[in-house]
Structure formats: C-alpha cells, structure tokens
Structure 1
Amino acid sequence: MNSTGQAPATLYECVVAHVRTAPLRHAFRHRTYLWCVDLDQLPVLPLLVRPFARFDPRDHFNGRAVSIRAGLDEFLAAQGIDLGGGRVVMLAHARVLGLVFNPLTAYWCHDASGALVCVVAEVHNTYGQRHCYLLHTDETGEATVEKAFYVSPFFPVDGHYRMRMPLPGARLALSVHLHTDEGRPFTATLRGRRRPATTGALLAAAVRRPWSTAAVWAGIRRHGIHLFLRGLPVHPRPRYSPQKDVSP
C-alpha cells in the first residue's frame, strides 16, 4: 500500500464528537479510523489484510454502479456536473470483516485541471437510507445546505447545515452544524491525524478497533436509547423519496 499527499491512500486516526444543546444537552466522543483514497487508485491490499478493508460500490450511491467512481459520476451528471475525468478523493470507512456503516462519506471532486469543483457529502442513517448533499464550498471549505434527510429521530427535517469540509492534509478537521429557527442545537466534528496506509498500520488499527464501523452504528443506537429514556420526544420518520440517483 502507498502513502499519500497526492498519493492513492492514507489512514486517519480520528476522534468523532457530537454535541447536542437542545432541548437536552448531551455529548459524546468516540475514536475510529478512516480511509482517504483516490477513487481511481483504490488500494490493492495484501491478501492477509483484505478482510479488514474492502471498498464496495454497493455501499455508496444507488448501490448498483460498477464502481464507487461510476456511482459518483452518475450522481454528478444528474446535477449537471461533468468532472472530465478529474481526480476524486474519498474519505470513508471501508468494510471491516464484511460490515460497514458510514454516517458521512465525503468526496472532493476536481476537474481535469486539478481545480476543486464541488464536495459531495453522502449521509447514511441507521435505517439503511442514504442521501447526498452537493456542496459548493468557499475558500475555507465551508458551505450551507438545507437539511433534506431524516437522520436523528430527535430532530425534524428542517433547518440547514453549515458544513466545513476542507480537503484533508496532514490533519483532518471537518464539522457539521445544524441551524434551526431556535438556534444551533447540534454540532458534529471529526478530527484526525494522517498515517501512512501500510499493512502494519492497518493491522494495528484493526487490532485496536476490530469492529470499528459496527461500533459507530451501535454507539449511535446506544446514545439514542439514552436520550429516549431521558424523555426526549421522537419525531416520526417521514416517508422518504430517495434521490433518483441514490435510490435503494
């Protein structure tokens, strides 16, 4: 496996933090690791570690494309965007022992000249649904987008997100703020440090967190139960009309 700057793949040892301020205050942090890969140069892993990192197109977009890159290109085409074969960097969990859950997958999409065209934020909820937000970020990596997808049962589908999504470098620093008429009731941050994507680094990460993506899913459920038991009201999940290009 290769390490990157412009290279095909790196690992990020990360801390994810969620802070809810209303109507109840609740916060949690957990550690995980993520891959940052070039979609046209996905890592070819030694046989020994392949069960700990697999990138499957079924886990992204409509799940029917021949590759993740093809799924992304189909989504962008539906938005009138053609990258002309430009480079795409993806930040995501890989499948680990056959399991994966990506609350957020980010794609930094460049044109053939290398200029950043847009960022795609692909959000998954714990009900098996997906939704993609197309972001035209400013020079700091920030963009605002209307909330259009049910994620937490304790928030209705209203308000807007302020996302900060700069391209990862030696450090990873992403944030998502939910804004509503009542203020800013929720913030999620992702902080990480880049590590070379060597076989040893992957095995070490897998040993420390062998069920990394399953733990993310279970943690979200556990904290949801905690909030429910504290009396936080549940907003019914609306009937979801999937985006044409990301339907199940």
Structure 2
Amino acid sequence: MLSPLVAASLFSYVALSSSTLAAPVRLGDTPTTSPHKFNYRTKSMMLSLRDLEAANLDLGHGRLFGYGTHSALRVSGISPENYLTRVRPDVSTEMSIDKVKIETRLIDLLRASGETIATGCIGDIWMLTIPAYFGVEMNPLTMYFCYDQNGPVLAVLEIHNTMAERHSHVLRMNHESRERAMGSGFDYAWVFPKQFHVSPFSPRDGFYECHLNAPTSAPSEITSDSSPLPLPFVRLRLLTSDNPPQVRLIATQRTIAARPLTSISLLSTVATEPFAWLLTFARILYQAYVLHYLRRLDVYMRPEPHGLPSRESHITLGDNQVQDPNLPSGGLLWLAPSGVNCMARTLLERFLHRRTHDTNLKVELVPTNPFEKSKIFGRGVGDPDLTIYYRSWEAFAFILEAPTPQLALALARVQPQPLFSVSDEGIFVQLFSPLPTAGSITIDQRITQFLRRKLLPAALWDMCQSPHVLDQEGGWLATRVLVLRLLSAIVEHGAFVLARARLVPGQEPWLFWKRVAEALGQHPEREVHCPSSSSSDSD
C-alpha cells in the first residue's frame, strides 16, 4: 500500500528523434536550411510539490533525496533557489531565496500572469523536473500541473536556458484548450508567441504550438499501489511567423515508464546509470557543435530577456525581437550584472547625484527588468526631466566607453538589440557634456582617453579630445573599467577566432563601434562632434 504522500520517479524518454531544426545557414550568399534530429533518454522526478516542501519525500534523512539547499554530499535533491523567481513580485524588498517556497513563488507567478487565484483554491500540484545530482543542477524544463476540486486547471512551463535565465508560460487547461487538441491524440493544446532566447541557432520570433497529456489525478488521489502513475507527454512545435507558418523545430518529451520514488529505486538508478542526470549539458554542447560546425548554422548572440512591455516600448526593438512585444513578460530570472558593469553604474550614479544637484534636473533610471526598481536622482517637482530606459547594466559601460553623449546615442541606434534609450536626447547630451575645465587634465583622465581610442576605430579618434564627465567621479575607477572592457573585447574576439565560430552578420559585438562610424558617414545629418574643453552647459 502506497501512502497518499506518493511520488513517482519517472523514466522519461525525451524523443527529439522527431525533431527537425530548419534555421537559416549562410553558405556564400545563398540561404538554406539544415534538418537535424536526435534523441536520448533522461530521468526526471514527478513530485507532489506540497509533500516535497514538507520534507515528506526525503530519503535517507535527506542524504539520498531531500528538499533544501544543494549539497555535494546529497545524492539527489530539489533546491527552491533553482526554480521560478528569486524575488517575489508582491514585496518591495528582496527576500532570502531559501525562505520562499516553490509553491509560494508559483502562486505569485500565476497572480502576476493575470490568474485570479484565491487563497486555498489551488489544491495539490504535480512538479515534473530533473533534480540536482550531487549538487549539480541542469534542468532545461520543469512542468507544474495545478488542480482544484474539479480537476486540472493550469499547466506552467518553466524554461531555463544555458545562460541561467528563466522564463515561464502559464497555460489554462480549459474547454478551449481541449477543443484545440481534438483529433491530435493529446488532451490539451495551445498556441502562444515565443519570447525567450533558448537556442543560439534560432531567433526569438515565431510561435510555439504546445500539445500536452497531463496527469488527470492530483497527487493526493494516488493512494494505492494499484493506482496508475502519471505518464505526462508534451510536444512543442516552433513555428515561424510566416504566412503560412513553417515548422522550425519539433521537440517531444514522452514518459515511457514510471515507478515510485524509494531509496531502493533511487539507488538502483544511480548504480545502473550513474551519469544519467549529468549528461544533459554535455548533450547540449555536443548538439551545438554539430549544428554550428557540421551543419554550418550561424549563432545569434544572447539578447536581453523581454521585460515589461510598458518600458520595452521606449527602446528600439532591433534585431532578434520577440514575436509580440505587447504581451506581458514571462521572464523569471535575469543574469546578474557583471562586476565591470556594476563599477560603471557606480560612476554613473555618482555623476547623476552631483550633476542633478548642480543643474536642478530630475533624472530617472528605468529598467525593463520587472524585478529591478527604478531610481530617481534630483529633487525636482513633477515628472523627471530625463528618463533613461535600459535593458542591461552594460548600457552604463557603453555610456562610459563612448567619448561623447552623442556617440553613446549613436551606438544605441546601431546595436542589434539597443541596450538603452532616453526620453529627451537634447537633455541627455546637455547633462553628459563636459563643463569648462579650470585645471589641467589628470594622468588617469589621459589614460582613460587613451583606452577609449583603443576601443574605437580610427575614424572616431578625433572625438576623444575632451575629458569624459564620468572620468572625474571615481579617480582610477573609470580607468579600471575601460581596462577590463578592453581586455574583455580582446578575449571575446580572440575566442571566436580561435574557435572558428560564426555569428549571424550584424551581431558581432567587436564591430559595434565600426558600425557607428559607418552610420555617421552614411548619414551626415547625424554627424556628432566632441564638445571642446571650452564648451559650456546651458543650465
């Protein structure tokens, strides 16, 4: 007799053998497509989320399997910080990620997605996931199946990419989704726009067509060893935005066998297939090698995740944009800013604190990331005089790197995905233009100007005459940032050359400034000049 606190260890068959990847590949000037198929076995766990978080499913006092912080001494486990958001959207301060349970995060996500979730209306929840193995976690897809007293009501797909970003799709299991699936062999079907960068070989446009066979019974309804264990089956077809749409990719994950999670079944899995949970990332790398070097598919650089539509609308979409930028973001986790970008932001904030005080201007920094707060500088009354919208903290490094504010704006225009925009270009230029210099240029300022020249093509060197306004804020901090930026650019370009890797034309980050120079040459009306040291603000 099985306890109501049952969990099933699912031996899933990820059937990508039916997958077809048809992405553009450049052979000379002739675009073509490249079919590619592969399949492999993996092992997942189907768990009652509430029993998991109550530690009712722990095995061997949590040493064989357990819930909580990852440990290399634990054979397998689930840690909440690896799922959904790290910050609850309904609280104003960041909470310890270990204190927010997965179920709490899931309910928060459902409410933020527009679902009316009354307290206690969601019953038990199935969670299908790949657990961590000796502290190592690689989990591309987690599925949650939510139930009320009448049966299944919601399915949530949580997608992770290899850059540690996360995205979600909330799918209603209702009459409409059942009707759409009629005749397909599946119980439910949905079509929704793509928003998330998953594969470097595929752009973000297009649609997903998702078919699903979900568990019909909640975990609490499986009460005996005669109860059938659920065998979920999901199929995702990635469709292009063409009319009619073309199939770009088919991916299926089909569970072919299941058995209850016990100490014996877990140890048996580890003994017979000790690397089953560790091979996911290696398989991804191998398939990437095949697609890039053998199938000759070019690579898209990682774009920043799609954020709040109300803020994204202020920044040019650029290349590799999402299919429908007006839909709410399903983003769950953004990459943390690098140390270099943090230093660049420190310089920018110091400057804004001082400059807004001197000019009586009010400036607001507004991120597209919904989990990051806006910040206001200055004490002016009413709306900000200038709003800087940004997708990434790297925007602050580009503002520091650009010799003039005009060039910073020009760079934002030529990037495949612009990282920032401003509400008023005139005020931005006024704010970031240097004041008349009373003294001589310091050694660190001379060095930073020298470093800027190294980062720019020769056509832009004449614009590096005056000291940069941010160079005065942190002593040698600006110099450190530019040194690290220069080294990073050299290493990045060198790595691509050594690896013989190819980016989709127009995506190469080491050519951004060259494109700025070309754009200025092609558009004389956009020609910019570095303010001389005798220029003054109009404040």
Q: Establish whether TM, by shorter chain, passes 0.5.
A: yes
SS in 1 for 2:287: helix
* Alignment partner of 1:232 is 2:297: yes
**Equivalent residue for 2:139?**
102
The structure with the greater share of residues assigned to strand is: 1
Question: Is 1:123–1:130's contact at 8 Å kept on the other side of the alignment?
Answer: yes
SS in 2 for 1:217: helix
Counterpart CA distance in 2 for 1:90 and 1:157 is 27
Quote how far apart the aligned CAs of 1:3 are: 5.6
Structure 1: unaligned runs, 5 residues or longer:
none
Quote how far apart the aligned CAs of 1:247 are: 2.8
Question: Is 1:32–1:209's contact at 8 Å kept on the other side of the alignment?
Answer: no
Note the aligned Cα RMSD (angstroms): 2.2
* Alignment partner of 1:216 is 2:280: yes
Structure 2: unaligned runs, 5 residues or longer:
23-32, 66-73, 87-96, 179-186, 216-228, 308-328, 335-539
Counterpart CA distance in 1 for 2:2 and 2:195 is 36
Quote how far apart the aligned CAs of 1:166 are: 2.0
Quote how far apart the aligned CAs of 1:170 are: 4.3
Question: Is 2:168–2:330's contact at 8 Å kept on the other side of the alignment?
Answer: no
Output one character per residue of 1:148-180: Cα deviation in whole Å (capped at 9) or x when no partner: 100011110011111122224543322111111
Which of 79, 82, 90 in structure 2 is aligned with 1:59? 82
Quote how far apart the aligned CAs of 1:8 are: 3.3
Which of 6, 9, 13 in structure 2 is aligned with 1:11? 9
Which of 143, 152, 162 in structure 2 is aligned with 1:126? 162
* Alignment partner of 1:30 is 2:40: yes
Counterpart CA distance in 2 for 1:120 and 1:16 is 19
Counterpart CA distance in 2 for 1:107 and 1:41 is 14
**Equivalent residue for 1:20?**
20
**Equivalent residue for 1:178?**
238
Q: Flag the 1:172–1:39 CA change in 2: closer, same or farther, 3 A.
A: same
Question: Is 2:142–2:157's contact at 8 Å kept on the other side of the alignment?
Answer: yes
**Equivalent residue for 1:78?**
112
Counterpart CA distance in 1 for 2:270 and 2:301 is 37
Counterpart CA distance in 2 for 1:164 and 1:76 is 20
SS in 1 for 2:50: coil
Counterpart CA distance in 2 for 1:117 and 1:190 is 21
Q: 1:176 is aligned with what amino acid?
A: L
TM-score computed with the length of structure 1 as normaliser:
0.90
Quote how far apart the aligned CAs of 1:115 are: 2.8
**Equivalent residue for 1:247?**
333
Q: 2:168 is aligned with what amino acid?
A: C
Q: 1:29 is aligned with what amino acid?
A: N
* Alignment partner of 1:49 is 2:64: yes
Question: Is 1:142–1:163's contact at 8 Å kept on the other side of the alignment?
Answer: yes
**Equivalent residue for 2:314?**
none
Quote how far apart the aligned CAs of 1:40 are: 0.6
Q: How many residues align?
A: 245
* Alignment partner of 1:155 is 2:197: no
The structure with the greater share of residues assigned to helix is: 2
Question: Is 2:212–2:232's contact at 8 Å kept on the other side of the alignment?
Answer: no
Q: Flag the 1:11–1:95 CA change in 2: closer, same or farther, 3 A.
A: same
Q: Quick one: percent identity of the two aligned structures?
A: 28
> Post-superposition, which runs of at least 4 consecutive aligned residues in structure 1 deviate over 6 A?
none
Q: 1:167 is aligned with what amino acid?
A: A
Quote how far apart the aligned CAs of 1:66 are: 1.8
Quote how far apart the aligned CAs of 1:116 are: 2.0
Q: How does 1:137-152 map to 2 (within 5 A)?
A: 137=173, 138-139=177-178, 140-152=187-199
Question: Is 1:56–1:67's contact at 8 Å kept on the other side of the alignment?
Answer: no
Counterpart CA distance in 2 for 1:246 and 1:3 is 36
**Equivalent residue for 2:130?**
93
SS in 2 for 1:177: strand
Quote how far apart the aligned CAs of 1:39 are: 0.8
Counterpart CA distance in 1 for 2:163 and 2:137 is 14
TM-score computed with the length of structure 2 as normaliser:
0.43
Output one character per residue of 1:196-220: Cα deviation in whole Å (capped at 9) or x when no partner: 2121111111223323333111111
- Choose between structure 1 and 2 for higher RCO, CA contacts under 8 A separated by at least 6 residues: 1
Q: Which moved more, 1:220-229 or 1:61-70?
A: 61-70
Quote how far apart the aligned CAs of 1:62 are: 1.4
Counterpart CA distance in 2 for 1:163 and 1:245 is 19
